[in-house]
Amino acid sequence: MEKEKVLIVDDDQMMLNLLKYSLSGDYDVTVSLGPREALEEIRSNSFSIAILDINMPELNGLSLLKMIKGTRPGTEVIIMTGFPGLDSSVEALRGGAFDYLQKPFTPDALKYTIEKAILRRKLKEHSATLEDITGVLAALIEKKDPYTAFHQKRVSHLAVAIARRIGLAEKNIIELQNACLIHDLGKIYITPDILNKPGKLEQEEMELIKLHPQAGFDVLVSVEQANEIACMVLHHHEAIDGSGYPNGLTGKMIMKEAKIITVADSVDAMISDRPYRQGLSMNKVMEELKRHSGKLYDPSAVDACLELFSTGFKMGIK
């Protein structure tokens, strides 16, 4: 698949070399030594992302931002600043910048911001329907992590069946299905070595994993058509007794659809083989659901799930 084109503009050649080295494995990177050179690139080429230093001679980053937005409005702009104050950063955001990074920053922080900007760009291009949005994001997830993509399809298959068993309205079921297909969207910001670690996660790694519902929500909430599924994504690791994450919600504070996703997500996670453990038998999974019904899981969703498997329901997609 063709790499996203990224333009980096700075008047410091060493910084340009460092950033190009950090990003070239993931993106098609072009560097420009100063704004005049960058303007020639912008006029000649279309870039998904432009990363600009705010403090450059002749033409500063804010002025260059304005010119880029006038010439290539579809290019998302990230501002780099070495100033500790927020005034210039706020001005950049008001001028149409996607985000800003204060120097010094890590390569991972930059890649995280680039990926968020790319997602917003894709959503702008494909925002006609909820299904369009889901399709674009699901394809991106599959590109980053095929296991997560297939997991989400299996979760969707089970969650929809549970929802129909409970008697959820068809409109809500369609939204639920779309939410399931991208419920782990936030994991695209987590490195594969953590996601697929063949052993117990360190505390810091676990805390990073726990950020993925919020990260997915942050991408979706800015898109009007996806507001409902954004909340389902945010809530899908919450627990009835308040022991879940990211916000420790309880009972009725959690969306009904999210409670269904939680059960379906847990079932698929428990039965699946992973690098760090073998999957559980279906009998063991059912025991776990019963044991935690009313604590971690919504009782009506658990009951519907148990009824489905007792009548021969299959998870389907491998």
Domain of 54, CATH number, reads 3.40.50.2300
What is the H or E stretch that residue 219 is in? helix 212-220
**Residue 318 included in any domain:** no
Verify that 61 and 180 share a domain, yes or no.
Answer: no
Q: What is the pLDDT, as a whole number, of residue 145?
A: 80
126 has a pLDDT exceeding 60: no
**Residue 148 included in any domain:** yes
Report pLDDT digits (tens) over 263-312.
999 999 999 887 777 889 999 999 999 999 999 999 999 999 999 999 99
Verify that 107 and 189 share a domain, yes or no.
Answer: no
Residue 248, CA distances (Å) to 207, 210, 245, 294 in order: 14, 12, 5, 15
Verify that 108 and 143 share a domain, yes or no.
Answer: no
Contact 144, 26 (CB under 8 A): no
**Residue 95 included in any domain:** yes
- Point out the domain boundary residue: 125, 151, 186: 125
Q: Is 207 exposed, middle or buried (0-12, 13-18, 19+ CB in 10 A)?
A: exposed
Number of domains in the chain: 2
High-pLDDT (> 70) share of the chain, %: 95
Verify that 105 and 166 share a domain, yes or no.
Answer: no
Verify that 119 and 157 share a domain, yes or no.
Answer: no
Verify that 87 and 182 share a domain, yes or no.
Answer: no
Domain of 293, CATH number, reads 1.10.3210.10
Whole-prediction pTM = 0.71
Verify that 104 and 144 share a domain, yes or no.
Answer: no
**Residue 315 included in any domain:** no
202 has a pLDDT exceeding 90: no
Verify that 186 and 96 share a domain, yes or no.
Answer: no
Verify that 181 and 287 share a domain, yes or no.
Answer: yes
- Point out the domain boundary residue: 99, 125, 151: 125
Verify that 230 and 95 share a domain, yes or no.
Answer: no
Verify that 275 and 134 share a domain, yes or no.
Answer: yes
Higher-confidence residue of 236 and 119: namely: 236
Polymer length of the chain: 318
Q: How far apart are CA 227 and CA 178, in angstroms?
A: 12
Higher-confidence residue of 68 and 189: namely: 68
**Residue 117 included in any domain:** yes
Verify that 76 and 11 share a domain, yes or no.
Answer: yes
The residue written with tokens 């500063």 in the block is 60
**Residue 317 included in any domain:** no
- Point out the domain boundary residue: 125, 144, 166: 125
Q: Please give the residue range of the domain that contains residue 35.
A: 5-125
**Residue 316 included in any domain:** no
Report pLDDT digits (tens) over 20-75.
999 999 999 999 999 989 999 999 999 999 999 988 887 888 899 999 999 999 89
